[in-house]
Each structure stands twice: as C-alpha cells, then as structure tokens.
Amino acid sequence: MITVVEVGPRDGLQNESAMVSTADKIAFVDKLSAANLPVIEVSAFVSPKWVPQMADAEQVFAGITRRPGTRYMALVPNVAGLERAQNAFVADVAIFAAASETFSRKNINQSVSDSFITYKQVCDRALAAGLRVRGYLSTAFGCPYEGAVAAETVATLTARLIDLGVFEVAVSDTIGIAQPDDVPRVLDAVLARVPAERVALHFHDTRGQALANVRAALPFGIRTFDASAGGLGGCPYAPGAPGNLATGDLIQMLNGLGIETGVSIEALDAAASFIRSRLRPSTPSSGP
C-alpha cells in the first residue's frame, strides 16, 4: 500500500499570482477528499505579507468537509503559525527545513541551525498538544543557488528532524533536478540513519524524471510520496522550477504496477480539472 500526500491546495496554489477564492479552495479540497486521498495539505499558516495566497487559511479549514479517513495538514513556520493552526482545529502540521544554507536564508530568512531552534519550539508545543508533526527537507537533491548537496548532509538533517519528534520527513527535490541514479545515492545515506517508514519523497517534474524517481525509490521500501493534483505548484525561491509530480500520473503508474493506493482516479481527475478551470492557462510550479 502506498500513501499519497496531496499537496496541491498548499504547495500547488501558494505561488499563484492570481488569487484563488476561498470558496474555490474549499471546493478543491472537498473534491480531493472525494477521491479518498489519505492526506491533504490544505493550507499554510504563514504571514500573508510573504504568501498572500495563504491568507485565508483559517477560512478554508473552517469551510471544508472533513472526511473520516483523511488527515488534513497545514504548513507552519513558527509558534505563531502553530497557534493559528490549533485555533483552526488542525491535527497535523508540517515544518520545512532546507539542506542548503542559501536556500534556507532565502526561503525563511534563517540559517539552517536557527531554523532548527525555531522548529524545536514548534515540535515541543505541537507534540504536547497531541498534534502530529511532519517535516520537509528542501533541496535534498540539489540547490538552485549552491548546486550539489551532499547525501550525508541530507541524512544528518533528516535524522535531526526525526529527533525533533516529526513522524516522517519528506525528502524533497525542490527544483526537480534528481535523476533515477541520484535516488539510491541519497536513500542509501538517509536509510542508514532513519527507517524507511519514516521517510517520504517529494519530487518535482522539471526534467520529466519524477515517475522514474518514484520507481527507483520503491525497492528501498519508501511507501509515501507527495504529489499535486494536475501537477500544480510554484516556489518563488527555486527559480525555473516547474510542476510537482502530478497526482494522477503517480496513481496511474502505481495502478499499472499493481500497487494499491485507495485513490479514485476519476474523482482525482475531476478535482484537477476543477482547479485548473479556476486558474490562468499557464501556472508555475514547486514545493518544499
């Protein structure tokens, strides 16, 4: 069984220059819920100054219909974001660190070390309140500013996130630079420090390699993958990065391999068509 983490409503929409209405965001999440997705990243409790598209996070969470069996997650950058998430009755939150210093400073205006101080505060409070915390590790396969990132650095930071109390780390190919040969290089280092069941992968399709990268990861026991309906996504700190791995493409490939996901491809396609109809014809793309 593969767990698909749907990141379209947050990662897919966060960099859209045209504002998507709150009602359309709610409808999008509800349509994704109807596809039986087990995890949906709904929004982010970040400063509207930096990410205007996520300014209505509270309203979106208040408006969605929460389906039993689906977990609804939100990104939080700090304790203030966590408090907003708690007030919106969010049970799963996510933090986002980076594997390269330059990306970390450009993304959250903190060094990697400082970000871990912030995230320890978030994790301590979240776990004490009974919330689950997921971790993202950006630029794990390469940085748009620094180039190659050492696999051992990725492994060390993944283990540090686990030590903070996160239940899993989404090792992320933020700019879609990974090739199938890179996946074993990174996973060999990471899995020497962290069990496979605590590791997810988040691929972008910049070079058309996302599905091949998923296939390269399956023999390592990775069973959780992030994807975005319609391949939506955009990261202002990863110049030139196009779409996330499209959820429909991932489900179709896994179905073809005889691997169960429990996701309805028909309902998923309807959700992707809906949100595409609410966006301009060409959208950028991205992720943690």
Please report whether residue 286 resides in a domain.
no
pLDDT given for residue 281 in this prediction:
54
**Number of C-beta neighbours around residue 67 at 10 A:** 17
Encoding tokens for residue 217? 């990861």
| Pairing of the two strands 132-138 and 92-98 | parallel
Percent of the chain with pLDDT over 70: 94
Show the tokens assigned to 245: 């791995």
Instruction: Give the model's pLDDT for residue 280.
Output: 64
Are 265 and 248 in contact, with CB atoms under 8 Å apart? yes
The total of structural domains in the chain comes to 1
| pLDDT tens-digit map of 50-85 | 899 999 999 999 999 999 999 999 999 999 999 999
98 half-sphere exposure, CB direction, 13 A CA radius: 28
Verify whether residue 235 is a known catalytic residue. yes
SS3 label, residue 5: strand
**Residue 114 resides in a domain:** yes
Encode pLDDT of 210-224 as tens digits: 999 999 999 999 999
Residue 237 in any domain: the answer is yes
Smallest CA-to-CA distance from 288 within 91, 100, 132, 125 is with 100
Return the DSSP state at 59: H
DSSP bridge partners of 202: 172, 226
Q: Which domain holds residue 260?
A: 3-277
Specify which residues 41 forms β-bridges with.
Answer: 73
Half-sphere exposure of 75 (CA within 13 A, CB side): 25
Residues 163-181: tens digit of each pLDDT: 999 999 999 999 889 999 9
In the chain, the amino acid numbered 128 is A
Is 91 within a domain? yes
Please give the backbone phi and psi of residue 285, each rounded to the nearest 5 degrees, phi first: -155, 170
Instruction: Supply the pTM of this predicted model.
Output: 0.94
What lies within 8 Å, CB to CB, of 287 at 6+ separation is 7, 11, 138, 172, 174, 202, 204, 226, 228, 233, 235, 241, 244
Residue corresponding to tokens 């009755």: 89
HSE toward the beta carbon, residue 130, CA cutoff 13 A? 3
DSSP secondary structure string, 111-174? -HHHHHHHHHHHHHHHHHTT-EEEEEEETSS-BTTTB---HHHHHHHHHHHHHHT-SEEEEE-T
User: Domain for residue 287, yes or no?
Assistant: no
Q: Which of 64, 235, 241, 272 is catalytic?
A: 235
Q: Which CATH number is 183's domain given? A: 3.20.20.70
Q: Which whole number is the average pLDDT over 40-47? A: 97
d(CA 287, CA 233): 6
Classified as helix, coil or strand, 268 is: helix
Domain assignment of residue 288, yes or no:
no
Residue 186 inside a domain? The answer is yes
Q: Binning pLDDT at 50, 70 and 90, where does residue 19 land? A: very high
Residue 222 covered by a domain: yes
